[in-house]
Structure 1
Amino acid sequence: MTKRQKMPDWFEEIAAEFMKPPYFLQAQFDAKSGLNTTAAQAAQDVPPRSFEPRSGNGQRRSTAGGVRQASAGVPTSDEEATSDVRHSGPDLCQARPPGTRPRRSTTASGANDPLVPATVLERYPIDVDRREQLPDILRVVTEDEQRYAVKRTTISLPHVWFIHKMLKYAQKQGFTRCSKLLMTKKKSPGVVYGGNVYYASEWIDGQPANFASAEHVAQTAYALAQFHEATRGFTSEKFVPEDAFDLLEMTKQRNRDLRQLLYRAEAMKDKDEFDQLFVSLKSALQDDAAESLQLLQQNECAAFLSHDKTHPGICHLDVIPGNCLYAPDHNVHLIDFELSTFAPRVLDMAHLLRRSLQVNNWSGDIAYACFLHFDTVKSIPKVEYRLVEALLKFPYRAWRLAHTRYNFFKDPAQIDDLLAYADQEARRQSFLKSFTAQVRSLSVGDD
C-alpha cells in the first residue's frame, strides 16, 4: 500500500482483528442460555464458554435481540441492591443476528410488555404516554414528549451501577457522546423485578454507524478515543468487571483453540463444505496465529501494557454499528456499555478496524481515518501499533466462525462467511504486509 500525502506512516495500520461476526451475537447466547458473560470475556471477543477467560463479545449479550436471566444472588428490588451497585450505560439500537426475526414494533399500553413489565416503568419518576416495543428494547415516550430506552439486561444490578458511575465520571471530564441513565424514584440506575434486571437511558436520535463510510468510521474512532481518555482516573470501590489487559494470554488461548478446531475438522469422516475449506486454510491460519503470538511476546509490548494498566482507561468493547449511533449533528454517540471494562484502547481500535476493513475489502483509506482520529485525541506510539499489528495478524474471523460452529451451532451463513474470509485473504495479507513495513519504519522516537 502506498502512503498518503503528508499522512503518518501509520496509514495502513491495525485493521481487522477484533471484529465480531454479527450473527454469533444472540444465537450463541440463545444456545447457551443461563451462562453469564463477564466484561473481560467480551473484551477478548471469545465466544461464550469454552476455553475462554471471558465470554463472547458483541455477540452473546443481551444486546442483540434477546434477554438473559439476571445472575443468581441479585436482590429482588432496586432498594435492596443499592448497597452494592454501580451504573450501566445506554443500550438503544443493537444489531440483530442474521437468521433471527425482528420483533414487530408495536405501540402498546397494556399491563405487560414482552420485555419490560409495567411494574418496572412505575419505578421511574415519569408519566408514560406511550410505549413502542422494538427488537431489543422498549421505547417509552412520556407525556411531556421525553423519550427513553428501557432494557432488560443480563448483567447484575451492581454492574449497572458500575456503568452508571463510570459514565457520570466520563461526562464530568467532558465526554458527552453518550446518554445518561434514568434514575428510579429510589435513586437507583436499575430495577430488579421478577429475577430480572432493567435499566433506562435517554433516547438518542441517530442511525447505526456505516462502517463502509470513512466519515462514520472517523467519528466512531474519535468517540471511542475520547471515551477511553475521559475514563482514566475512574475508580470503583465495589463492583469492578475483570480487566482486559492480558492480550498475550488471550492469544495463547486462541492459538490452542485454533489448533484443536483444526484437528477436529481434519478428523471428521464426512466433511461438509465448511470443514473442507477450514482444513484447506490450515497452514495459513496457523502461521498467522503463531506470528500474532510472537509479536505480543515482545518485551516492549508487555512493558507498555503493564504501564497502561497503572492508569487505565475504559474500552467500550462492543464496537458494532448498532452501538455507535451517527447523529444528525454528524457526531457518533456510544450506547450499550455492558461489556465495557478497563482495557488498552487497542482493543477498541482493532474492533473498529476489523469491522470497517472487512466491509471495505481492506482499503487503507478507511484505516487511515480510524488512526488519525485516535491519534488526534492521544498520540499513538510505535509500540501501540505493534499491538494492533499483533491483534490484526491473528486470523480472528476464521477462528471465531469455527469456534462457534464446532462448539455451539451450525448455520449456513458460516460457510458463506468463511468463503468471504478466504476470498479477502489476499487483500488482507497485502494490507498487513504494508502495515508491518510501516510500523517497522517508524523511528524509535515514536515510542
Structure 2
Amino acid sequence: MSLWPIVESQYGIKIRSTTQVKDVYKVETDHATYCLKSYDFPEEEVRFITRVLSCLDEHQFTQSQKVLPAIDERAYITHEGAYYTLTNWVHGQQPKFARTSDIRRGISTLAKFHLLATGFPALEAPESRIRYSRLPGEFSDYKSLLLPHRSTGHLVELCDEALELLQQPEVLETIQQEQLNSSFIHGDYNYPNLVKDKKNTIHLIDFENTSMHVRAKDLAHILHRNSLWNAEGMLRLIEYYMRYRSMNTSELHLLLALLTAPYHVVRNIRIGGFRSAKPIIPSKDQLRKYRRELRALL
C-alpha cells in the first residue's frame, strides 16, 4: 500500500499535494502544511527524538518543530519497516551566517534553546543517545584520521592537548553536572538545520542527531563552522552567547577543550577525503596564534 493513504488514515488529514525537499516531504492540506520525515534508526531512538521535541514544547520553547500525534496518540507511525514523524512545516529561508546579524541571531537562539535543554527524563533516553562520556573517544578518533597524513602532525598535537584539557578536574566536574542536569543538544546546529522566518526569528529543525550531551558541544560546533581558526571571532560570539545564557569558569574550560580539537578538518576528511580538508589546515604559525588567543577565553 502507498505511503500517502497510510498518512491520511493515521493522522486524519486529507493531503492535497506532496513535494520532496531534500530528505523530507512537504505535505500540503487545505488547512496546514506539514513536514513528513522518515528515519532508519531503531524505534527507541525515534521515540527519543520525538520526546525531545515534546520536552521543548512542554518548556514552552516556540522555535522548534512540534510533533503532530497520530489518531491513536502515537508520536510516529510505521510503514514498510520505516518510521515517520509529522511536524509543522517551518516557512522561511536558511540564515546566512556570513552576515553579522544572522550569526548573532543564530547564537542567541542557541543560548535560549540551551536554557531549556535540561531536565529530560533520563530513563526515557536510550543508551545509544547518552553521550556525555564520549568526548575522549571522539578526540582519539580525530588523531586516528590525522596520523596517516604527513602535513597534519601539528593537528595531532592539538588532539593531544584537547585530550589533556578534558582531564582537568573542572572539566570532568562540568561533564558530570551536565549529566546530572539531564542536558541535551541539537547535535547539528548550523544554518542547514535552521530556518529564518519573515520576522527574522530563527527556528530549529531536523533533530535526528539530538542526544544527551554537554551543551557546549552545540556551541563549539557552530563556532568551528563559522569562525574557523579565528579565535577573536569565536570570543566575540561566545560573549554574545553569554548575554543570554551565562557560563561558569568550568564550562568555559570544557568549551576550550572542544575548540582546541581540530573538528572542522576532521569533518572535511570524513566527508570528502584529505583533499577536501587540505585548504583549511592551518599553518603552524596560524595555529600558534589561534591557541594563544583562544586562551583569553579563560
Same fold (TM over 0.5): yes
**What is the Cα deviation at residue 242 of structure 1?**
2.8
- The 3-state SS of whatever aligns with 1:341 is coil
For 1:123, the equivalent position in structure 2 comes to: 10
Q: What does 1:36-435 align with in structure 2 at a 5 Å threshold?
A: 112=2, 116-144=3-31, 146-240=32-126, 241-246=128-133, 248-251=135-138, 253-254=140-141, 257-258=144-145, 262=147, 265=148, 278-282=149-153, 284-358=154-228, 362=230, 364-365=232-233, 367-369=235-237, 371-402=238-269, 404=270, 411=272, 414-415=274-275, 417-422=276-281, 426-427=285-286, 429-435=288-294
Structure 2 distance, partners of 1:209, 1:320, is: 9
1:227 aligned partner, one-letter code: F
Query: Tell me, what secondary structure is at the counterpart of 1:201?
Result: strand
SS at match of 2:251: helix
**1:357, 1:367 within 8 Å by CA — same for their partners in 2?**
no
CA distance in 1, matches of 2:64, 2:135: 31
Q: Pick closer, same or farther for the CA change 1:187–1:245 going to 2, 3 Å.
A: same
- State which drifts further: 218-227 or 312-321: 218-227
> In structure 2, what is the Cα distance between the partners aligned to 1:372 and 1:225?
11
Greater helix percent: which structure?
2
Larger Cα Rg: Structure 1 or Structure 2? 1
Shift of 1:431: 3.1
TM-score (norm 1): 0.61
For residues 142 and 23 of structure 2, the distance between their equivalents in structure 1, rounded to whole angstroms, comes to 34
Contact preservation (8 Å) 1:228, 1:315: yes
Residues 237 and 301 (structure 1), Cα distance of their counterparts in 2 relative to 1, 3 Å cut: closer
Per-residue deviation, 1:414: 4.5
- In 2, the alpha carbon distance for the partners of 1:336 and 1:308 equals 23
The one of the two structures with greater contact order (alpha-carbon pairs below 8 A, sep at least 6) is 1
Measured on the aligned residues, the alpha-carbon RMSD in Å equals: 2.5
Aligned residues: 297
Which is further off, 187-196 or 243-252? Answer: 243-252
> What 5-or-longer segments of structure 1 have no aligned partner?
1-110, 266-277, 406-410, 441-447
By how many angstroms is 1:373 displaced?
Answer: 4.0
**Any conservation in 2 of the 1:209–1:326 contact (CA below 8 Å)?**
yes
Measure how far apart 1:250 and its partner are.
Answer: 2.4
- The answer as to whether partners of 1:218 and 1:373 remain within 8 angstroms in 2 is yes
* Separation in 2, partners of 1:423, 1:215: 27
* Match status 1:439 vs 2:294: no
Write the letter of the residue equivalent to 2:165: L
Q: Determine the C-alpha separation between the residues in 1 that align with 2:92 and 2:240.
A: 21
The SS at the match of 2:255 is: helix
Distance of 2:85 and 2:284 partners within structure 1: 42
Deviates more, 1:425-434 or 1:158-167: 425-434
SS of the residue 2:18 aligns to: strand
Report the Cα offset of residue 375 of structure 1: 1.3
CA positional deviation for 1:322: 1.5
The runs of 5 or more residues in structure 2 that have no matched partner are: none
* 1:111-139 Cα shifts (integer Å, max 9, x gaps): 85xxx544334321211111112221111
- Larger mean CA deviation between 232-241 and 318-327 belongs to 232-241
Distance 1:301-1:366 versus aligned 2 partners, 3 A rule:
closer
Identity within the alignment, % = 23
Aligned mates of 1:374, 1:122 — CA distance in 2: 44
Cα distance 1:218–1:250, how it changes in 2: closer, same or farther (>3 A)? farther
Structure 1 residue 379: Cα displacement: 1.1
For the residues of structure 2 that align with 1:279 and 1:318, how far apart are their CA atoms?
30
Provide, for residues 358-396 of structure 1, a one-character-per-residue CA deviation record: whole Å limited to 9, x for no partner: 3xx727346513x23431332112222221221121222
Matches of 1:289 and 1:229 in 2, distance apart? 29
Tell me which moved more, 125-134 or 226-235: 226-235
